[in-house]
Amino acid sequence: MYEQAEPVRSPFSGPDSRKTSEPPQARPVRQSGSRGRVRHGNGSSEDQETSSHMYEEAEEVKRYATSADGAYPGGASGRRGVCSFLYARRSSLAAGIAVLLSLGAVGLAPLTFSNKQEISQLSNTVEVLKREQDGMRQLSSTVDGWKRDQDDTRQLSTTVDGLKRDQDDMSATVDGLKRVQDALKRDLDNERSRTAALEQCLHEIEKALPPCPEGYTLRRGTCYKAFNTRKSFNAAAVACLADSGTLAMPRDAETNAFLVSLYKSLGDGWSFWFGLHDQREEGKFEWVDDSALGTYNSWAPGEPNNYGGGQDCVLYAVVLRDKWSDNDCRMRFRFICQTAPGRP
């Protein structure tokens, strides 16, 4: 592996010396203090002794390497001499390097342990912070939910306030309607009282009045009769005049209902003339005493229609459920007359 080293000159011989010398002997090792002593326990004394030997040998190599001629005794070049010297002491160098590495490991071990401990603590702290961050996120979500609920509650409160105002308005309206209803009830009661009083007066008057003509029925001071003979409108009016009367004039709903019941007593399924027409002016209906129709009427739906022209007289149409209908005055129907009591 290595070439055979040339004989090395003595470091104390001159450059012209031709004599070869034996390989340099190892110098005696000086021992001082704790060197050379073996300590029991952690073995540090043995490491220090080996380190001391390596240090002295390294110093010796350094002196030879930096000699005046740059070579070991014997004339060999400095590089080759150093290599031979190191090769001869390779076991000591290996032991010294191992000692140095063990010392470094021993010195770094507490630091490594301390760093691991700090890293573990830091990792635990980071995990705690992460959990706290997750907790903060959940808390933030909860707070956002509370805010939304609070907004919904405010809107609901606004709606409730609006409903309360509406309720107050409705209560006021209901109170007003109740007052109006009470007033209407009082007016209705007053009207009923007056009507009852009037009916009583009429009844008393009817008692004092002379009787109606034969076959007539007294109704509120007027005598009515339904005739079971068919005549044209004008001929029926002449027949009523013979009893000092006219065709019947139902000016209100009560009188109209009375006349319907009166002619139905003769039989169902017949129509009857009564005293309403528009013979003088189309569409302007008037009673046979020349008075206007007024506000009350009982026309059938679609009537009056003057169907086909010339329908100027009015009758109770049985096909229209006893409602009013205009018809041709020349047609012959049964009729109803009215007259005053006491007339022959």
Average pLDDT over every residue of 131-154: 89
* Residue recorded with tokens 């350094």: 62
217-339 folds as Mannose-Binding Protein A; Chain A (3.10.100)
Average pLDDT over all residues of the chain:
79
Average pLDDT over every residue of 270-286: 96
Quick: pLDDT tens for 97-138.
877 777 666 666 666 667 888 888 898 999 899 998 888 888
- Alpha helices (H) in 66-89, listed in sequence order: 78-88
Strands 272-277 and 245-247: unpaired
What 8-state DSSP symbol labels residue 71?
B
Average pLDDT over every residue of 195-200: 84
What 8-state DSSP symbol labels residue 269?
S
Question: What angle do the packed helices 44-65 and 78-88 form, to 10 degrees?
Answer: 160
| Residue 167: both structure tokens together | 């309720």
pLDDT on residue 33? 41
pLDDT on residue 224? 97
- Measuring CA to CA, how many Å separate 145 from each of 257, 296, 324? 73, 69, 73
* Residue recorded with tokens 């907004």: 151
pLDDT on residue 135? 87
